[in-house]
């Protein structure tokens, strides 16, 4: 069994966060919100879309994203007792993430949570037949993730296929069977 590291997947997720923030900036939809110290930060807004919520959750749990203060709800919104965390900001650059030490998170359960999050993201942007859209992945995806994980089949320098059957066998068997806590946790509390 070959697995990508949680660190390599975190890098891919941060790449996606920056890609979305850049798109939001170009579209005029980026928001700046205060952090815990009142400093204005450009926000990653997951828009309550699962594929961005899950990668944001993983990045928050490994310390790459921090929550921002929530803006007041629109006047038409109903009150809710559920705490919201729709906005966050990256606390490191891609270069910093690429050399960060995530070894305290490298467990199979954490890998399963991270790969579940990747599959959720991938399924949203997937090309026909399970092809990974390499135009959306980072330049290091092929070497850092695809070539190191048996869920991916490399069919050439520009073609990588996500093997759904292998994913089901490896990740979802664990997910459905013995993975009650579906959060990334440090080894000391895993």
pLDDT digits (tens, 9 = 90+) for 83-96: 567 899 999 999 99
Long-range interactions of 20-23: CB distance < 8 A, separation 24+ = 20/44, 20/52
pLDDT over 90 (residue 189): no
Identify the pLDDT of residue 50.
82
Identify the pLDDT of residue 46.
87
Mean pLDDT, range 129-153, rounded to an integer: 93
Identify the pLDDT of residue 133.
86
Nearest to 5 by CA among 120, 149, 125: 149
Q: Distance between the two ends of the chain, CA-based, in angstroms?
A: 21
pLDDT over 80 (residue 8): yes
Provide the percentage of residues in the chain whose pLDDT is more than 90: 66
Q: What is the pTM of this model?
A: 0.90
Question: Number of C-alpha atoms within 13 angstroms, CB side, residue 190?
Answer: 19
User: Residues 98, 77: contact at Cβ < 8 Å?
Assistant: no
Provide the percentage of residues in the chain whose pLDDT is more than 70: 92
Q: What is the mean pLDDT of the chain?
A: 90
Considering all CA atoms of the chain, what is the largest pairwise distance in Å, rounded to the nearest integer?
52
Identify the pLDDT of residue 177.
87
Least confident of 71-85, 97-111, 112-126, 152-166: 71-85
């Amino acid at each position: 069994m070959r697995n990508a590291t949680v660190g390599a997947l975190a890098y891919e997720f941060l790449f996606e966060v920056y890609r979305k923030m850049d798109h939001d900036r170009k579209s005029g939809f980026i928001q700046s919100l205060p952090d815990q110290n009142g400093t204005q930060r450009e926000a990653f807004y997951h828009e309550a879309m699962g594929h961005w919520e899950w990668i944001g959750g993983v990045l928050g749990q490994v310390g790459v994203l921090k929550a921002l203060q929530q803006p007041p709800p629109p006047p038409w919104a109903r009150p809710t007792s559920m705490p919201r965390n729709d906005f966050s900001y990256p606390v490191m650059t891609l270069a910093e993430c690429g050399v960060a030490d995530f070894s305290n998170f490298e467990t199979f359960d954490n890998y399963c949570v991270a790969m579940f999050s990747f599959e959720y993201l991938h399924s949203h942007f997937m090309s026909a037949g399970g092809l990974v859209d390499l135009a959306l992945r980072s330049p290091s995806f092929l070497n850092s993730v695809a070539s190191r994980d048996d869920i991916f089949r490399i069919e050439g320098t520009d073609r990588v296929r996500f093997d759904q059957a292998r994913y089901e066998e490896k990740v979802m068997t664990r997910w459905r069977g013995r993975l009650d806590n579906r959060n990334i946790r440090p080894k000391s509390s895993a």
